[in-house]
Structure 1
Amino acid sequence: MGTTAALELVEKRARASIGSWERRSLGVVRAEDAAEFARAAGESAPQLVDPGHVGFAVHPMYVVSVLRGAPGADPAEFRPDGMYRDEVPGTDGLDVRLMAGGQAVRWTGEVRPGDRIELRRALTAVERKGSGEGFLLLTVEKMYAAARGTLVEVTERFIVR
């Protein structure tokens, strides 16, 4: 399938899924995992990297970085480029190029160790951009929640060529 045909198929699939909310459990936030994330992000403050610290707090970007709950993904869940097959709606199985197109994050609560996180997400917009064959700009809304309510809201955009 040529690039133009693949892009048209992505657009058709994506438009058909606009507004369909999916849910996925991301499991329980473990302090050790959050501290490891903070260290990998270059943090050194004890309250972010030491789960035993009296004021330990989960790094604000930790939960946004979690794409699958433990034990992680099965090899069949990956695209050849290393992304998850379902990460960019409408693209599964198609030979298209994917790029991040921006992210806006709004924190509405504090993520805590022990929180059981549920991700809800929906594709909310599909835009054709550029001249000629152009590209698609897909907008995905995500909400990360625990039992006490929504903790983080994210708007992500993906460029599909």
Structure 2
Amino acid sequence: MDASDELDRTLRASGHRVTRPRRAVWRALRRGRGHRTVEEIAASVAAAGDEVDTASLYRTLALFEDLGIARVSRLGDRDAGRWELAHPDEHFHLVCQQCGDVDHHVGTLVAQIREHLDRGHGFAVEQVELVVTGRCTACQHTVAS
């Protein structure tokens, strides 16, 4: 099953129409690297020759988030949000303060934090999203040079 079929099935199963703009946004999300801004997604849609107005783009991304097929992360105080395809793992977002690159770090610490909060504090954790800021390897080398 290809990605468009998966989107079509998900939309129809939830009572939503399959539209050209929704497919265009879905293709842009699938084509790009994760953690993309709305502006980057819009540019990708336009580069593919599709037209989606800004309001439709925001509504489509919100719908995809509601359906659990995309997710938004707020990775800093000034960051309006970065979008990526949904995935089941919880992870750290490593955000480079110099170049803005974002990377995932998956490990056991997130599970340990979740368990600590669940058992140690009686807090029913729904999602863990941790943001760690610093400088990526490339930017560290740039400063050192």
TM over 0.5: no
- TM (norm. structure 2) is 0.25
More helix, by proportion: 2
More strand, by proportion: 1
Greater length-normalized contact order (CA 8 Å, ≥ 6 residues apart): 1
